[in-house]
Chains A and B, each alone.
Chain A
Amino acid sequence: MSEMHHDHELEMKKALRPNVERDNKYWLSLEQWKNDPEFMKMAETEFQSSPLKEGDGEDGWARREFLKLMGASLAMATAGCIRRPVQKIVPYNKQPEEVTLGQANYYSSAYFDGSDPIGMLVKTREGRPIKIEPIENNPFSISGLNIRSQASLMALYDPERLQGPKRSLFNEKKTNAQVIDVKWEELDKKVVDQLKKGDVALLTGSIASLATRALVSDFAQAFKAKHYVWEPLANEELREGQKASYGDDVVPTFHFDKAKMIVSVDADFLGTWIAPTAFTNQFVAGRKDIKNMNRMVSFDSNYSLTGANADIRFRIKPSQQLSVVMGLLHEIIVKQGRSSYAGNASIKEVLAPYADVATQFAMDPALFSKVAVDLWENRGQSLVVAGGLQTLTKTAQELQVAVNFLNSVLDNDGKTIDAKGALPMHGSYKELTQLIQSMAAGKIQTLIIHGVNPAYSLPEEMGFKDAIKKVKMVIYTGDRVDETGTHADFIVPDNHALESWNDMELSNGVVAICQPAIRPMYDTRSFQLSLMNWAYMAGQGPSRLRDYETFYDYLRVFWRSEVHPKFGKGQDFESFWQQTLQKGYAGSASKGSASRSFRLGAFTAIKPAPAQEGYELVLYPTAQLGDGKLANVAWLHELPDPVTKIVWDNYAMVSLATAEKHQIRASSVIELKVGDKKMELPVHIQPGLHDDVIALQVGFGREKAGKVGNGIGKNAFALATVSDSGVQFSGQIVSFTKLKKKYELACTQGHHSMEGRNIVVESTLKDYNKGQNGVTRAHVWSIWSGHEYSGHKWGMAVDLHSCTGCSSCVVACQSENNIPVVGKKYALMGREMHWLRIDRYYTGDPANAEAVFQPMLCQHCDNAPCETVCPVLATVHSDEGLNEMVYNRCVGTRYCANNCPYKVRRFNWFNFAKLIEKPMHMALNPSVGVRTRGVMEKCTFCVQRIQEAKTTVRNENRAMKDGDVKTACQTACPAGGIIFGDLNDPNSKVAQIFKTEERGYALLEEWHAKPSIRYLSKVRNNDKESTGGQDKGHGTAKQGEHS
């Protein structure tokens, strides 16, 4: 390397270097250095890169340069102590009334992305949304959050969002996919000209917003357009089933809290099905009183979250779903001769083929008939549900009708099933098929697509991609040029939900207003305003569509005329509006309706499905990704799957027996063959899976989601098959061949067994009633003198009985505490950074394994093993019982992590914060420091919230009361499973749990670390004497020993 070349390189670097302003006045002591050109040159290179590059040292020059640099940087270091960059403060021009620097503002809103409508609060700091918080006591979603509502925050700050309208440069055949910027005026003019020509169609996802629904129908009226509604996870089967059984075209709501006996046939109501957050609330509410807890039985064809939480879980394959329900009906009506249908000959005839379902399916016949008995004995207080992608087999409709009939037989309709409180899911594959047929026939000139991505989530044989080429003008209102966007002539970027006004019907009877929490960051326009603008420009449509300048005005007028009369209760509109904003909702949830009469004809038409041989496919959505809309949010990929704990991939799941049979190992790759479609996938061996099932997750394999989401996993939607009866997602015969390839999946929990230790403690209801809750006490003599806590003493109780493993808390913690995402490569090395993880253990025989979940976070031990080994006192004990981590003291020895028995400490191997791309840094919580490389970190019990509460209390001149401090994980938990508070306050909930709750135990009590967290043991309502291991033979964990 020549000297000249090096100079040139320096110049280049200088040009690239950010211009950091320094205050020259302050350099007095360094004045002598300042004019020395030699020094200046050296200073330029300082810290820019390693002084020695690869290949340096080959010639003498590099060595000399290195020494010079060393000298210079040492000199800099001595004087460098007093060198500070100059910071500027730029105050507001006019002080906004609502902004107090450093204080958060909260705006009520709601979230819905095709499923799981929930109310939420948006926490903003200095005008930036930084966290999603729940609305307590929302009549529908009650409390807590789901994963995706919290992650939708990152979609707002996605650097790859479109920043302005685009148009494509299509050639004749629409084969190229370039897009260029376009002016709004030009776009609007061209769109309106085209709209005026007629033959307009709108394709949207399920719209939960009342005002938007009204606006779309106004728009449809204006341009004689037809509105098609479709969602990849449509819940159409439920509506069709309701229609056939009762004549109601609704997705009913369910009251799991009122059900004593719940049977789920592949309806993952705790994870992904319809409204899991609300259902988790209800389900857990029915279990909190343990002596009278509900029982949940799951017939599960993949290992769903619902199956994992079931008291009794049966593994089935999709083709058995209908038979299971018919079998239960046979048990009740024919075998036990119950219900008014017992004498009905035609029903008996329909049920006749299902007499030995349990034996045929290798289930325990006694257990199966006990399920039927329990259902009947709790009639009116039981609930049978089925639905979701896993049930979209050839017999999806029959299954729904059978389930409805069973519920009617059990007198549940109107009690635990509530058609009055209908949910806002309107999507339909039938409608979409009609639309595609019209498109292909050239009957549609203009197509507006909003909120769905059909080019990604439809199998090829639907013919969408060919049909869309026949449409003259396609207008797409997505936030990026994604799979569908590439087929559009105009991309009209929509605002993010946090940037615009909207409203939402959570369920029939509960409405909410969504407030904008930030001004639109880019040159985008809400979908609603686009429609309004086009109607205005064309001069067509009802006056309310054309008269207003913003959608906010439309919304207000709509609420004044349509919502206020129904929900206002005599209040004047202004105060009703304000109150709704303040509370976050209006109305009340439906409490039940009259029981409807069942149309027997639908049931007697059911023909027995021919038994299927061979492996069956199960496609299912995951709780983290859902249908894959938010695939570019790294949080969602980094979040371990609630059941498998795998990150950054999708995979084919097979049972252990199947894997052994085909010599498949954990890192094998198989090629699936469904019909003539093939897909290569890595294998995950899943305990508890039916031996004939190959289960696979949808929502992965995006091609145009962005840098994060592209190419993560494979697109399983492509394996769905289309037949006359509809789109089939599960139950197709699938074959596979093992390939000579290897692919490693990143699983954050390598060890699934408790090795016989008392980690997750569970008992059965029978044992519990006898006073055995599985907890063993260890009394250990201590060499420690203990700490004195004279003020507060923070503690937490985690109720394993409530925890469903939904992982909402993990995302909440990530959002609150600025936890970085590390990616698959480092997750494989075990370097994931989540402060709070949920451990999942299997118990029992691998073929029928039961799962237990345990949120695991820093236990804030009184005798903390980490504190004693830190050589620099970077982790110390506070006089409030917190195990403090002082980042600025930490030198990264990692001794503490080595000595932590709970493996909850996380080390920053890299400067992850530096990798945060703008504007994602806006989502960082300014109340929590961002950690740098070489620093250990861990759960702080949300110490920033404790400090904030203390200041509030002090400023308000009052004492701290229970509930003043709530940790992020606690607020996000839809099951109320995490309780935080002051143990020195005898009235606090947590103190009472510590004192009186029999189920409470400290983790690894015998080690006497004295954690500040008590876990409350889980109780399983399954009629057995002891849980797990022994009675099932090959238990990996020996839970039974303890009880």
Chain B
Amino acid sequence: MHRVFKRSTAGVVALLGALMMVTLLTGCKFQPGWGYNKGYAPEQPIPFDHSLHVGNHNIQCQYCHNQVERSKHSNIPALSTCMNCHLQVATDKPNIQKLREAYDNGGSVEWVRVHMLPDFVHFNHSAHIAKGVNCQTCHGEVEKMQKVEQVSDLSMGWCVSCHREPENKAPLNCSTCHY
């Protein structure tokens, strides 16, 4: 049989692999933030300023994210929602003109998703809102954010830490989220 590796090469590979493994494991142990998107704050096509809308103008979260109480998803508002105000307000700003243009052309805006969960996790916004969880509990002080940033790491440990609190009476079954 053809030998693919020389014995010495194989040894080096094994050593390298072991080293990587050790690095990985210690990394995961002492740097629990690794692998999560905490602090992720991508540039958006239009720099929508939550601190201005929510902080200064006191617009309710649910004014735009209006389906959050009845859906598992919190919707990104349709352009028509923006236009409720921006047909009149700040129409001279280039970004609003960009928005207006997209609206008039029947187009949309490609926002960059900030909070992402893997496909095997089913999170339900409406269930949490109904229990009285504030938006800020998970999303941080959005009313102070000029650019939205992921505040929590959205890891399973983070989810479960809250579900485990006895006063929350939250289910801890795997199938609460994974199905």
Contacting residue for B76 out of A77, A82, A89, A884, CB 8 A: A89
Which residue of chain B is the closest to A87 with respect to CB atoms?
B113
Nearest CB of B to A67, in Å: 7
* A84, B121: Cα distance in complex, Å: 16
Contact with B along A868-890 (1 / 0, CB 8 A): 00000000101110101011110
Are A886 and B178 neighbours in the complex by a CB distance under 8 Å? yes
What residues of B have a CB within 8 angstroms of the CB of A889 in the complex?
174, 178
With A63-B4, A101-B67 as known contacts, state yes or no: A25 contacts B42, CB within 8 Å.
yes
Which residue of chain A is the closest to B40 with respect to CB atoms?
A26
Are B173 and A880 neighbours in the complex by a CB distance under 8 Å? yes
Question: Is B162 in the interface zone, CB < 8 Å from A?
Answer: no
Are B16 and A74 neighbours in the complex by a CB distance under 8 Å? yes
Which residue of chain A is the closest to B3 with respect to CB atoms?
A57
Nearest CB of A to B140, in Å: 19
Are A23 and B17 neighbours in the complex by a CB distance under 8 Å? no
Which residues 1-55 of B sit at the A interface, judged by CB distance below 8 A? 2, 4-5, 9, 13, 16-17, 20, 23-24, 27, 34-37, 40, 42-43
Are A90 and B108 neighbours in the complex by a CB distance under 8 Å? yes
Which of the candidate stretches A186-194, A603-611, A925-933 sits at the interface with the other chain? A925-933
Contacting residue for A87 out of B24, B108, B116, CB 8 A: B116
Are A25 and B43 neighbours in the complex by a CB distance under 8 Å? yes
Are A886 and B174 neighbours in the complex by a CB distance under 8 Å? yes
Contact with B along A76-100 (1 / 0, CB 8 A): 0110011010111111111100001
What residues of B have a CB within 8 angstroms of the CB of A84 in the complex?
37, 40, 116
What residues of B have a CB within 8 angstroms of the CB of A87 in the complex?
112-113, 116
Nearest CB of B to A857, in Å: 16
Question: Is A940 in the interface zone, CB < 8 Å from B?
Answer: yes
What residues of A have a CB within 8 angstroms of the CB of B103 in the complex?
93
What residues of A have a CB within 8 angstroms of the CB of B34 in the complex?
81-82
Are B70 and A943 neighbours in the complex by a CB distance under 8 Å? no
What residues of B have a CB within 8 angstroms of the CB of A25 in the complex?
42-43
* A67, B174: Cα distance in complex, Å: 40
Nearest CB of A to B158, in Å: 16
What residues of A have a CB within 8 angstroms of the CB of B146 in the complex?
none
Question: Is B63 in the interface zone, CB < 8 Å from A?
Answer: no
With A78-B23, A100-B67, A103-B70 as known contacts, state yes or no: A879 contacts B173, CB within 8 Å.
yes
Which residues 74-127 of B sit at the A interface, judged by CB distance below 8 A? 75-81, 102-103, 106-113, 116, 118-122, 124, 126-127
Which of the candidate stretches A268-276, A320-328, A724-732, A947-955 sits at the interface with the other chain? A947-955
- Contact-residue bracket for chain A: 35 or more
Are B175 and A887 neighbours in the complex by a CB distance under 8 Å? no
With A88-B110, A884-B174 as known contacts, state yes or no: A94 contacts B116, CB within 8 Å.
no
Question: Is A70 in the interface zone, CB < 8 Å from B?
Answer: yes
Question: Is B130 in the interface zone, CB < 8 Å from A?
Answer: yes
Question: Is A776 in the interface zone, CB < 8 Å from B?
Answer: no
What residues of A have a CB within 8 angstroms of the CB of B127 in the complex?
950-951, 954-955
* A623, B109: Cα distance in complex, Å: 48
Are B27 and A78 neighbours in the complex by a CB distance under 8 Å? yes
Which residues 879-911 of A sit at the B interface, judged by CB distance below 8 A? 879-880, 882, 884, 886-889
Question: Is B134 in the interface zone, CB < 8 Å from A?
Answer: no
Are A92 and B42 neighbours in the complex by a CB distance under 8 Å? no
* A346, B75: Cα distance in complex, Å: 80
Question: Is B164 in the interface zone, CB < 8 Å from A?
Answer: no
Question: Is A772 in the interface zone, CB < 8 Å from B?
Answer: no
Contact with A along B128-141 (1 / 0, CB 8 A): 00110000000000
Question: Is B60 in the interface zone, CB < 8 Å from A?
Answer: no
Question: Is A988 in the interface zone, CB < 8 Å from B?
Answer: no
* A429, B78: Cα distance in complex, Å: 56
Are B79 and A951 neighbours in the complex by a CB distance under 8 Å? no
Main secondary structure of the interface of A (DSSP, over half): loop
Contacting residue for B122 out of A71, A91, A927, CB 8 A: A927
Are B42 and A878 neighbours in the complex by a CB distance under 8 Å? no
* A3, B34: Cα distance in complex, Å: 38
* A93, B99: Cα distance in complex, Å: 10
Contact with A along B165-179 (1 / 0, CB 8 A): 000000111111011
Are A57 and B179 neighbours in the complex by a CB distance under 8 Å? no
What residues of B have a CB within 8 angstroms of the CB of A879 in the complex?
171-173
Are A67 and B113 neighbours in the complex by a CB distance under 8 Å? no
* A86, B110: Cα distance in complex, Å: 11
Are A95 and B78 neighbours in the complex by a CB distance under 8 Å? yes
Contact with B along A782-799 (1 / 0, CB 8 A): 000000000000000000
Are B35 and A82 neighbours in the complex by a CB distance under 8 Å? yes
Instruction: Tell me which of B103, B130, B173 has the highest count of chain A C-beta atoms within 10 A of its own C-beta.
Output: B173
* A63, B36: Cα distance in complex, Å: 35
* A808, B120: Cα distance in complex, Å: 28
What residues of A have a CB within 8 angstroms of the CB of B70 in the complex?
100, 103, 955
Nearest CB of A to B4, in Å: 5
* A382, B73: Cα distance in complex, Å: 56
With A101-B67, A888-B118, A940-B175 as known contacts, state yes or no: A86 contacts B42, CB within 8 Å.
yes
With A70-B13, A84-B116 as known contacts, state yes or no: A882 contacts B173, CB within 8 Å.
yes
What residues of A have a CB within 8 angstroms of the CB of B76 in the complex?
89, 91
What residues of B have a CB within 8 angstroms of the CB of A92 in the complex?
78-80, 108
Question: Is A570 in the interface zone, CB < 8 Å from B?
Answer: no
Question: Is A102 in the interface zone, CB < 8 Å from B?
Answer: yes
Contact with A along B150-167 (1 / 0, CB 8 A): 000000000000000000
Question: Is B62 in the interface zone, CB < 8 Å from A?
Answer: no
Nearest CB of A to B7, in Å: 13
* A77, B27: Cα distance in complex, Å: 12
Question: Is A944 in the interface zone, CB < 8 Å from B?
Answer: yes
Nearest CB of A to B94, in Å: 20
Which residue of chain B is the closest to A58 with respect to CB atoms?
B2
Nearest CB of B to A920, in Å: 18
Nearest CB of B to A174, in Å: 45
Contacting residue for B111 out of A70, A91, A94, A950, CB 8 A: A91
Are B17 and A26 neighbours in the complex by a CB distance under 8 Å? no
Nearest CB of A to B98, in Å: 14
Are B78 and A94 neighbours in the complex by a CB distance under 8 Å? yes
Nearest CB of A to B166, in Å: 14
With A886-B178, A947-B179 as known contacts, state yes or no: A88 contacts B122, CB within 8 Å.
no
* A90, B108: Cα distance in complex, Å: 6
Are A90 and B112 neighbours in the complex by a CB distance under 8 Å? no
Are B71 and A101 neighbours in the complex by a CB distance under 8 Å? yes
Which residue of chain A is the closest to B104 with respect to CB atoms?
A93
* A951, B172: Cα distance in complex, Å: 15
Contact with B along A297-339 (1 / 0, CB 8 A): 0000000000000000000000000000000000000000000
Contacting residue for B78 out of A81, A91, A950, CB 8 A: A91
Nearest CB of B to A296, in Å: 40
Nearest CB of B to A227, in Å: 43
* A927, B73: Cα distance in complex, Å: 12
Which residue of chain A is the closest to B37 with respect to CB atoms?
A84
Which residue of chain B is the closest to A940 with respect to CB atoms?
B179
What residues of A have a CB within 8 angstroms of the CB of B172 in the complex?
879
Contacting residue for B77 out of A58, A91, A102, CB 8 A: A91
What residues of A have a CB within 8 angstroms of the CB of B106 in the complex?
93
What residues of B have a CB within 8 angstroms of the CB of A74 in the complex?
16-17, 20
Are A78 and B24 neighbours in the complex by a CB distance under 8 Å? yes
Q: What are 8 A-B contacts defined by CB distance under 8 Å?
A: A78-B20, A86-B113, A89-B111, A92-B108, A95-B81, A884-B175, A943-B179, A955-B130
For the A-B complex with A94-B79, A95-B80 known, give 4 more contacts whose Cβ atoms are closer than 8 Å: A57-B2, A74-B20, A102-B67, A929-B178
What 6 pairs between A and B have smallest CB-CB spacing?
A: A81-B35, A95-B78, A92-B78, A878-B173, A87-B113, A102-B72
Q: Which residues of A contact B (CB under 8 A)?
A: 23, 25-26, 52, 57-58, 63, 66-67, 70-71, 74, 77-78, 81-82, 84, 86-95, 100-103, 876, 878-880, 882, 884, 886-889, 927-930, 940, 943-944, 947, 950-951, 954-955
Q: Which residues of B contact A (CB under 8 A)?
A: 2, 4-5, 9, 13, 16-17, 20, 23-24, 27, 34-37, 40, 42-43, 67, 69-73, 75-81, 102-103, 106-113, 116, 118-122, 124, 126-127, 130-131, 171-176, 178-179
